[in-house]
Chains A and B, each alone.
Chain A
Amino acid sequence: GENVEQHPSTLSVQEGDSAVIKCTYSDSASNYFPWYKQELGKRPQLIIDIRSNVGEKKDQRIAVTLNKTAKHFSLHITETQPEDSAVYFCAASKTQGGSEKLVFGKGMKLTVNP
């Protein structure tokens, strides 16, 4: 089955720096890659997603890139702010019979120091 690896597991940056989170996946049939942000005690919130027919997507300070050949995708956060501090999860899924099962990475704890 699908396996998603995420690294690093923790990252600490100064406010205003950039942060990059990298994920790799094993199933070449995976075609949907969302990123979730989870603050302490709260629900995972979708922050950006990308489909396999797109190589890059950007939304304000957040961008995601996908390399299907290498089977890896990355989240880039620019001009980090203290409120960006959270755990970030990458995930991969493929559509099978209309069903989509998300396989998550282990998460990365981002700390943005003011």
Chain B
Amino acid sequence: KAGVTQTPRYLIKTRGQQVTLSCSPISGHRSVSWYQQTPGQGLQFLFEYFSETQRNKGNFPGRFSGRQFSNSRSEMNVSTLELGDSALYLCASRISGEGQPQHFGDGTRLSIL
């Protein structure tokens, strides 16, 4: 079974631009979560999608948004990029149900110049 696939692996943007990241979950996984990883703040939860609906959200500004498609693939969008948005963005998928493990993709490394 293929793992969680994230594209692109690397992105370089400038301040003020916007970016869209993509995540394809493991086949059969309908829940997709996004996390931001930085050296200073560690791994922080952005949001979770299930059946095309956002059902949980972390403490990030509205510039961070996402969506999920009917095939469970998910995209994350960041608008008006700031230098502090430079991070590794990780997507994780899981089977629905209590205590089901989340499986991570390799992430997208976003650098803001």
Please give the residue numbers on chain A whose beta carbons come within 8 Å of chain B beta carbons, in ascending order: 31-32, 34, 36, 42-46, 49, 51, 89, 91, 95-107
Contacts and interface: CB of A to CB of B under 8 A. Distances in A.
Given A43-B106, A46-B102, A101 B96 contact: no
B90 interface: yes
A44 B90 contact: yes
B104 A101 contact: no
Please list the 8 inter-chain residue pairs (A to B) with the smallest Cβ-Cβ separation, ordered nearest first: A99-B56, A104-B43, A32-B99, A43-B104, A95-B98, A99-B55, A106-B42, A44-B104
18 contacts: A34-B102, A43-B4, A43-B104, A43-B105, A44-B104, A45-B104, A51-B99, A91-B43, A97-B56, A98-B96, A99-B48, A99-B50, A99-B55, A100-B48, A101-B33, A101-B45, A101-B58, A107-B42
- Interface secondary structure of B, over-half rule: strand
A95 B104 CA distance: 19
Given A100-B98, A101-B48, A102-B45, 8 more contacts: A43-B107, A46-B102, A46-B103, A95-B99, A99-B56, A100-B48, A100-B100, A104-B42
A31 B106 contact: no
Nearest to A50: B99
Nearest to B105: A43
Contacts of B45: 101-103
A104 B36 CA distance: 11
A63 B53 CA distance: 36
Interface residues of A: mostly helix, strand, loop or mixed? strand
Interface in B65-84: none
A32 B48 contact: no
A65 B94 CA distance: 23
B106 A96 contact: no
Contact of B55 (A36, A97, A103): A97
**Residue in A42, A45, A95, A104 with the greatest tally of chain B CB atoms within 10 Å:** A104
Given A31-B99, A43-B90, A98 B55 contact: yes
Contacts of A43: 4, 90, 104-107
B101 A46 contact: yes
Interface centre among B58, B99, B103, B104 (most CB of A within 10 A): B99
